Amino acid sequence: MKSFIIVFGLVSLASASLITPETPQEKTKFVAIHKKCQADPKTFVDEDLVTKTIQGIFTEDQQLKIHMLCMNQGFNYIQPGGGLNEAILKQKWSAHYDGSDYTNLLKCLVNKSNDVETSWDMLICKHKTVGHLG
Element (H, E) at 87: helix 86-96
CB 90 within 8 A of CB 106: yes
User: Is the domain 2-130 a CATH 2.40.37.10 member?
Assistant: no
CB 109 within 8 A of CB 72: no
Q: Indicate if the pLDDT at residue 4 is higher than 50.
A: no
CB 64 within 8 A of CB 49: yes
pLDDT of res. 24: 86
Neighbours of 52 (CB within 10 A): 15
CA distance 118 to 112: 5
- Considering just the CA atoms, what is the radius of gyration of the chain in Å? 14
pLDDT band at 84 (very low <50, low <70, confident <90, very high): very high
pLDDT band at 120 (very low <50, low <70, confident <90, very high): very high
pLDDT of res. 44: 98
Q: Indicate if the pLDDT at residue 30 is higher than 80.
A: yes
